[in-house]
């Protein structure tokens, strides 16, 4: 079984991945953030480092998906390979940060890889308003995220809503985390687990 968690920067993907991994006793696969050699440079100069960053994430995510598909353990995954292309790279291209030449090259790599990828059994999309995202980003205090602009987060949110509106690769669960505190309130976390069980196993119908 494979659950993937999608959502904008600061929406709580990693925290929920950790909590669900412990709850179900499943393996957790996390996004390569701390060991990413391009992320800090990217937030300082997006135009210069956009292509390098996106190729790094794409390669890392493809390796991660290969591990998940070969693994016999159930897995909770923090962010998907689909987001790399349909959200982040597309957003950079539409905002003129990623050049047409680089974007075409990137999409060629993605399109070649995606034929070898199996979608998750369930995709959980964490929907969040900008205020919640900003508060969470400030709370975790990563130095390289201090230069993230609000208009960049808004643009990503628009990309997410467009992508989720047409997503059909697997079962989909949308959780509005702007209205929940699944860390501080056990009932909020229990509600998410109940909805996951309903989607995966048909329970509580």
Q: What gap in Å lies between CA 135 and CA 178, rounded to an integer?
A: 11
Q: Which of 129, 184, 124, 91 is nearest to 11 (CA)?
A: 129
* Known catalytic residue at 78: yes
Identify the active-site residue in 78, 84, 111, 143.
Answer: 78
First-last CA distance in the chain: 21
- The DSSP letter of residue 89 is I
Angle, CA of 46, 92 and 96, to the nearest 5° = 85
Q: Which helix (H) or strand (E) holds 61?
A: helix 46-70
Contact 42, 69 (CB under 8 A): no
* Residue 45: count of CB within 10 angstroms of its CB: 10
Active site residues: 78
């Amino acid at each position: 079984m494979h659950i993937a968690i999608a959502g904008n920067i600061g929406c709580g993907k990693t925290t929920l991945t950790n909590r669900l991994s412990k709850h179900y006793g499943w393996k957790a696969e996390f996004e390569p953030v701390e060991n990413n050699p391009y992320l800090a440079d990217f937030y300082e100069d997006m135009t210069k480092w956009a292509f390098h960053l996106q190729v790094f994430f794409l390669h890392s995510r493809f390796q991660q998906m290969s591990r998940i598909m070969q693994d016999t353990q159930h897995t909770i995954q923090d962010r998907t390979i689909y987001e790399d292309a349909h959200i982040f790279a597309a957003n950079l291209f539409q905002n003129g940060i990623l050049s047409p030449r680089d974007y075409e090259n990137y999409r060629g790599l993605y399109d070649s890889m995606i034929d070898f990828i199996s979608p998750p059994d369930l995709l959980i999309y964490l929907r969040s308003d900008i205020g919640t995202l900003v508060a969470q980003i400030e709370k975790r205090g990563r130095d390289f995220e201090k230069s993230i602009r609000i208009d960049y987060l808004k643009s990503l949110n628009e990309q997410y809503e467009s992508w989720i509106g047409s997503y059909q690769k697997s079962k989909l669960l949308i959780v509005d985390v702007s209205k929940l505190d699944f860390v501080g309130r056990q009932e909020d976390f229990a509600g998410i687990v109940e909805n996951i069980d309903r989607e995966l196993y048909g329970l509580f119908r």
